[in-house]
Amino acid sequence: MKVVRTPGEVREQVSAARSRGTAIGLVPTMGYFHEGHLSLMRLARQESGFCVVSLFVNPTQFGPGEDLASYPRDFDRDLELAGREGVDLLFAPEAAAMYQPGASTYVEETSVSRGLCGQSRPGHFRGVATVVTKLFNIVAPDLAIFGRKDLQQLMLIRRMVRDLDLPVRIIAAPIVREPDGLALSSRNVYLSPAEREKAPRFHLSLLEGARDMTGAKGEVAQILKDTARRIEERTGGTIDFVSAVDEDMQEVSRPEDCRYLAGALFLGRARLIDNVRIGAAGELD
Protein backbone atom coordinates (compact mmCIF):
# COMPACT_ATOMS: atom_id res chain seq x y z
CA MET A 1 0.00 0.00 0.00
CA LYS A 2 1.29 3.42 -0.96
CA VAL A 3 0.55 6.51 1.15
CA VAL A 4 0.34 9.89 -0.57
CA ARG A 5 -0.41 13.40 0.66
CA THR A 6 -1.13 15.54 -2.39
CA PRO A 7 -3.66 15.51 -5.25
CA GLY A 8 -0.82 15.37 -7.77
CA GLU A 9 0.55 12.16 -6.25
CA VAL A 10 -2.93 10.61 -6.33
CA ARG A 11 -3.39 11.45 -10.00
CA GLU A 12 0.00 9.97 -10.84
CA GLN A 13 -0.77 6.66 -9.09
CA VAL A 14 -4.30 6.43 -10.48
CA SER A 15 -3.14 7.22 -13.99
CA ALA A 16 -0.65 4.37 -13.83
CA ALA A 17 -3.34 1.95 -12.60
CA ARG A 18 -5.80 3.08 -15.25
CA SER A 19 -3.20 2.62 -18.00
CA ARG A 20 -3.26 -1.08 -17.10
CA GLY A 21 -7.01 -1.16 -17.75
CA THR A 22 -7.83 -1.28 -14.04
CA ALA A 23 -11.11 0.00 -12.61
CA ILE A 24 -10.65 2.52 -9.79
CA GLY A 25 -12.65 2.28 -6.56
CA LEU A 26 -12.80 5.00 -3.90
CA VAL A 27 -13.73 4.80 -0.22
CA PRO A 28 -13.93 8.31 1.32
CA THR A 29 -13.37 8.30 5.09
CA MET A 30 -12.40 10.53 8.00
CA GLY A 31 -10.28 7.78 9.53
CA TYR A 32 -10.32 6.10 12.95
CA PHE A 33 -11.25 2.91 11.17
CA HIS A 34 -13.65 0.30 12.53
CA GLU A 35 -15.24 -2.77 10.99
CA GLY A 36 -17.73 -0.61 9.12
CA HIS A 37 -14.92 1.16 7.25
CA LEU A 38 -13.13 -2.12 6.62
CA SER A 39 -16.28 -3.60 5.09
CA LEU A 40 -16.35 -0.68 2.63
CA MET A 41 -12.75 -1.38 1.67
CA ARG A 42 -13.50 -5.05 1.08
CA LEU A 43 -16.43 -4.14 -1.14
CA ALA A 44 -14.26 -1.71 -3.10
CA ARG A 45 -11.68 -4.46 -3.58
CA GLN A 46 -14.39 -6.78 -4.89
CA GLU A 47 -15.80 -4.21 -7.31
CA SER A 48 -12.56 -2.69 -8.63
CA GLY A 49 -8.97 -3.55 -9.35
CA PHE A 50 -7.37 -0.56 -7.63
CA CYS A 51 -8.70 0.57 -4.24
CA VAL A 52 -8.14 4.14 -3.10
CA VAL A 53 -9.05 5.14 0.47
CA SER A 54 -9.08 8.79 1.44
CA LEU A 55 -8.43 9.68 5.08
CA PHE A 56 -9.27 13.31 5.70
CA VAL A 57 -11.06 14.95 8.64
CA ASN A 58 -12.79 17.55 6.53
CA PRO A 59 -13.07 20.88 8.38
CA THR A 60 -15.81 22.31 6.15
CA GLN A 61 -18.40 19.77 7.33
CA PHE A 62 -18.00 20.69 11.02
CA GLY A 63 -19.99 23.56 12.48
CA PRO A 64 -19.10 25.92 15.33
CA GLY A 65 -18.89 24.06 18.64
CA GLU A 66 -18.69 20.63 16.97
CA ASP A 67 -15.90 18.12 17.48
CA LEU A 68 -13.41 18.96 14.71
CA ALA A 69 -10.50 19.31 17.15
CA SER A 70 -11.42 16.30 19.27
CA TYR A 71 -12.57 13.95 16.48
CA PRO A 72 -10.82 10.62 17.18
CA ARG A 73 -7.64 10.03 15.21
CA ASP A 74 -5.08 7.20 15.12
CA PHE A 75 -3.16 7.36 11.86
CA ASP A 76 -0.72 4.52 12.58
CA ARG A 77 -3.53 2.12 13.45
CA ASP A 78 -5.52 3.22 10.38
CA LEU A 79 -2.46 2.60 8.22
CA GLU A 80 -2.09 -0.93 9.55
CA LEU A 81 -5.78 -1.79 9.15
CA ALA A 82 -5.99 -0.44 5.59
CA GLY A 83 -2.86 -2.35 4.65
CA ARG A 84 -4.34 -5.58 5.96
CA GLU A 85 -7.40 -5.07 3.75
CA GLY A 86 -5.31 -4.82 0.61
CA VAL A 87 -5.87 -1.13 -0.04
CA ASP A 88 -3.65 0.01 -2.91
CA LEU A 89 -3.48 3.73 -2.23
CA LEU A 90 -4.16 5.74 0.94
CA PHE A 91 -4.67 9.45 0.32
CA ALA A 92 -4.15 11.34 3.59
CA PRO A 93 -3.91 15.05 2.79
CA GLU A 94 -3.54 17.99 5.11
CA ALA A 95 -6.28 20.62 4.92
CA ALA A 96 -3.93 22.96 3.04
CA ALA A 97 -3.68 20.42 0.22
CA MET A 98 -7.45 20.26 -0.16
CA TYR A 99 -8.42 23.92 0.31
CA GLN A 100 -6.44 26.79 -1.16
CA PRO A 101 -6.10 30.00 0.89
CA GLY A 102 -9.24 32.05 0.44
CA ALA A 103 -11.17 29.16 -1.11
CA SER A 104 -14.69 30.42 -1.84
CA THR A 105 -16.27 27.79 -4.07
CA TYR A 106 -18.64 25.18 -2.63
CA VAL A 107 -21.07 22.52 -3.84
CA GLU A 108 -24.54 22.69 -2.32
CA GLU A 109 -27.56 20.41 -2.75
CA THR A 110 -30.84 21.94 -1.59
CA SER A 111 -33.48 19.18 -1.38
CA VAL A 112 -32.15 15.87 -0.06
CA SER A 113 -29.97 17.77 2.44
CA ARG A 114 -32.72 20.04 3.75
CA GLY A 115 -34.17 18.12 6.72
CA LEU A 116 -32.90 15.61 9.28
CA CYS A 117 -29.18 16.20 9.92
CA GLY A 118 -29.22 19.09 7.46
CA GLN A 119 -31.61 20.99 9.69
CA SER A 120 -29.73 20.41 12.93
CA ARG A 121 -26.23 20.81 11.42
CA PRO A 122 -26.40 23.86 9.10
CA GLY A 123 -23.65 23.84 6.49
CA HIS A 124 -22.68 20.22 7.18
CA PHE A 125 -23.84 18.81 3.87
CA ARG A 126 -22.39 21.70 1.89
CA GLY A 127 -19.03 20.65 3.32
CA VAL A 128 -19.71 16.99 2.52
CA ALA A 129 -20.79 17.70 -1.06
CA THR A 130 -17.79 19.94 -1.63
CA VAL A 131 -15.14 17.55 -0.32
CA VAL A 132 -16.65 14.53 -2.10
CA THR A 133 -16.76 16.45 -5.37
CA LYS A 134 -13.10 17.37 -4.86
CA LEU A 135 -12.22 13.74 -4.16
CA PHE A 136 -14.06 12.63 -7.29
CA ASN A 137 -12.12 15.23 -9.31
CA ILE A 138 -8.78 14.19 -7.78
CA VAL A 139 -9.22 10.40 -7.89
CA ALA A 140 -11.55 10.12 -10.92
CA PRO A 141 -12.93 6.82 -9.62
CA ASP A 142 -15.15 4.50 -11.61
CA LEU A 143 -17.06 3.71 -8.42
CA ALA A 144 -17.28 4.94 -4.84
CA ILE A 145 -18.54 3.14 -1.75
CA PHE A 146 -20.67 4.80 0.95
CA GLY A 147 -22.25 3.18 3.99
CA ARG A 148 -26.01 3.30 4.61
CA LYS A 149 -25.52 4.22 8.25
CA ASP A 150 -24.95 7.77 6.99
CA LEU A 151 -28.20 7.54 5.04
CA GLN A 152 -28.75 11.19 4.19
CA GLN A 153 -25.14 11.55 3.07
CA LEU A 154 -25.54 8.53 0.79
CA MET A 155 -28.71 9.92 -0.79
CA LEU A 156 -27.13 13.36 -1.13
CA ILE A 157 -24.15 11.93 -3.01
CA ARG A 158 -26.43 9.94 -5.30
CA ARG A 159 -28.42 13.09 -6.10
CA MET A 160 -25.27 15.14 -6.64
CA VAL A 161 -23.83 12.54 -9.04
CA ARG A 162 -27.11 12.48 -10.95
CA ASP A 163 -27.56 16.24 -11.12
CA LEU A 164 -23.96 17.06 -12.05
CA ASP A 165 -23.52 14.12 -14.48
CA LEU A 166 -20.51 12.85 -12.58
CA PRO A 167 -19.21 9.59 -14.11
CA VAL A 168 -19.06 7.67 -10.83
CA ARG A 169 -21.10 4.62 -9.84
CA ILE A 170 -22.25 4.94 -6.22
CA ILE A 171 -22.48 1.67 -4.30
CA ALA A 172 -24.33 1.54 -0.98
CA ALA A 173 -22.94 -0.76 1.70
CA PRO A 174 -25.08 -2.18 4.53
CA ILE A 175 -24.92 -0.91 8.09
CA VAL A 176 -22.42 -2.82 10.23
CA ARG A 177 -23.53 -3.31 13.82
CA GLU A 178 -22.20 -4.58 17.10
CA PRO A 179 -23.75 -7.89 18.25
CA ASP A 180 -26.17 -5.91 20.43
CA GLY A 181 -27.37 -3.81 17.47
CA LEU A 182 -25.46 -0.55 17.95
CA ALA A 183 -24.38 0.85 14.58
CA LEU A 184 -20.60 1.17 14.37
CA SER A 185 -19.31 4.73 14.42
CA SER A 186 -15.97 6.37 15.18
CA ARG A 187 -17.80 8.59 17.64
CA ASN A 188 -18.90 5.60 19.74
CA VAL A 189 -15.63 6.05 21.64
CA TYR A 190 -17.23 9.11 23.26
CA LEU A 191 -19.71 6.87 25.12
CA SER A 192 -19.11 6.10 28.78
CA PRO A 193 -19.54 2.46 29.85
CA ALA A 194 -23.03 3.24 31.19
CA GLU A 195 -24.00 5.08 27.99
CA ARG A 196 -22.59 2.29 25.85
CA GLU A 197 -24.82 -0.20 27.68
CA LYS A 198 -27.91 1.87 26.91
CA ALA A 199 -26.99 2.91 23.34
CA PRO A 200 -28.36 -0.23 21.56
CA ARG A 201 -31.84 0.69 22.77
CA PHE A 202 -31.78 3.48 20.20
CA HIS A 203 -31.81 0.99 17.33
CA LEU A 204 -34.29 -1.31 19.04
CA SER A 205 -36.72 1.59 19.48
CA LEU A 206 -36.35 2.58 15.82
CA LEU A 207 -37.17 -1.01 14.86
CA GLU A 208 -40.33 -0.85 16.97
CA GLY A 209 -41.33 2.41 15.30
CA ALA A 210 -40.70 0.90 11.87
CA ARG A 211 -42.92 -2.07 12.76
CA ASP A 212 -45.64 0.37 13.75
CA MET A 213 -45.24 2.04 10.36
CA THR A 214 -45.62 -1.26 8.50
CA GLY A 215 -48.64 -2.18 10.60
CA ALA A 216 -50.10 1.31 10.14
CA LYS A 217 -50.68 1.48 13.88
CA GLY A 218 -51.55 5.17 14.04
CA GLU A 219 -50.68 8.32 12.16
CA VAL A 220 -47.08 9.07 11.25
CA ALA A 221 -46.85 12.00 13.67
CA GLN A 222 -48.00 9.83 16.59
CA ILE A 223 -45.65 6.98 15.67
CA LEU A 224 -42.74 9.42 15.56
CA LYS A 225 -43.73 10.94 18.88
CA ASP A 226 -44.01 7.51 20.52
CA THR A 227 -40.70 6.38 19.04
CA ALA A 228 -38.89 9.49 20.26
CA ARG A 229 -40.36 9.07 23.76
CA ARG A 230 -39.28 5.42 23.94
CA ILE A 231 -35.76 6.27 22.81
CA GLU A 232 -35.33 8.99 25.43
CA GLU A 233 -36.86 6.91 28.21
CA ARG A 234 -34.72 3.86 27.43
CA THR A 235 -31.39 5.58 26.75
CA GLY A 236 -31.51 8.66 28.96
CA GLY A 237 -30.42 10.69 25.94
CA THR A 238 -31.96 13.61 24.09
CA ILE A 239 -33.55 13.21 20.68
CA ASP A 240 -32.28 15.43 17.89
CA PHE A 241 -34.87 14.09 15.44
CA VAL A 242 -36.87 11.04 14.45
CA SER A 243 -38.19 11.24 10.89
CA ALA A 244 -40.17 9.11 8.46
CA VAL A 245 -38.89 9.72 4.95
CA ASP A 246 -39.14 8.41 1.40
CA GLU A 247 -36.26 7.50 -0.95
CA ASP A 248 -35.64 11.20 -1.62
CA MET A 249 -35.31 12.00 2.10
CA GLN A 250 -38.60 13.90 2.08
CA GLU A 251 -40.82 13.57 5.14
CA VAL A 252 -44.00 11.58 4.59
CA SER A 253 -47.46 11.90 6.15
CA ARG A 254 -48.73 8.37 5.43
CA PRO A 255 -47.18 5.24 7.01
CA GLU A 256 -47.32 3.35 3.72
CA ASP A 257 -45.06 5.96 2.08
CA CYS A 258 -42.30 5.59 4.66
CA ARG A 259 -39.14 3.91 3.33
CA TYR A 260 -36.78 4.85 6.14
CA LEU A 261 -37.26 5.62 9.80
CA ALA A 262 -34.22 7.68 10.69
CA GLY A 263 -33.08 9.29 13.90
CA ALA A 264 -30.32 11.13 15.71
CA LEU A 265 -29.70 10.97 19.45
CA PHE A 266 -27.47 12.94 21.79
CA LEU A 267 -26.09 10.53 24.40
CA GLY A 268 -23.47 12.09 26.62
CA ARG A 269 -20.77 13.55 24.36
CA ALA A 270 -21.85 11.41 21.40
CA ARG A 271 -24.35 12.19 18.69
CA LEU A 272 -25.56 8.85 17.33
CA ILE A 273 -27.38 8.40 14.02
CA ASP A 274 -29.20 5.31 12.77
CA ASN A 275 -31.97 4.24 10.43
CA VAL A 276 -34.22 1.32 9.55
CA ARG A 277 -35.16 0.62 5.96
CA ILE A 278 -38.75 -0.48 5.25
CA GLY A 279 -39.03 -2.61 2.13
CA ALA A 280 -41.94 -2.61 -0.30
CA ALA A 281 -43.27 -5.79 1.32
CA GLY A 282 -42.80 -4.41 4.83
CA GLU A 283 -39.49 -6.15 5.53
CA LEU A 284 -37.16 -4.27 7.87
CA ASP A 285 -33.42 -3.80 7.49
List the binding residues. 30-37, 61, 147-150, 153, 176, 184-187
Number of Cβ within 10 Å of residue 30's Cβ equals 17
Q: What's the CA gap between 126 and 265, in Å, rounded? A: 22
Q: What's the CA gap between 90 and 27, in Å, rounded? A: 10
Q: Which residues contact 271 (CB under 8 A, 6 or more apart)?
A: 187, 240, 264, 265
> Which residues are known binding-site members for (R)-pantoate?
61, 153
> Which residues are known binding-site members for beta-alanine?
61
Give the residue among 93, 89, 92, 91 at the shortest CA–CA distance from 22.
Answer: 89
Q: What's the CA gap between 125 and 119, in Å, rounded? A: 10
CB 230 within 8 A of CB 205: yes
Q: What's the CA gap between 84 and 87, in Å, rounded? A: 8
In degrees, rounded to 5, the angle at the alpha carbon of residue 265 between the alpha carbons of residues 66 and 178 is 105
The dihedrals phi and psi of 117, each to the nearest 5 degrees, come to -65, -30
> Which residues are known binding-site members for ATP?
30-37, 147-150, 176, 184-187
Query: Out of 26, 37, 113, 117, which one is annotated catalytic?
Result: 37
Residue 203 designated active-site: no
Angstrom distances, CA of residue 95 to CA of 5, 44, 101, 152: 10, 25, 10, 24
CB 6 within 8 A of CB 93: yes
Q: Annotated active-site positions, please?
A: 37
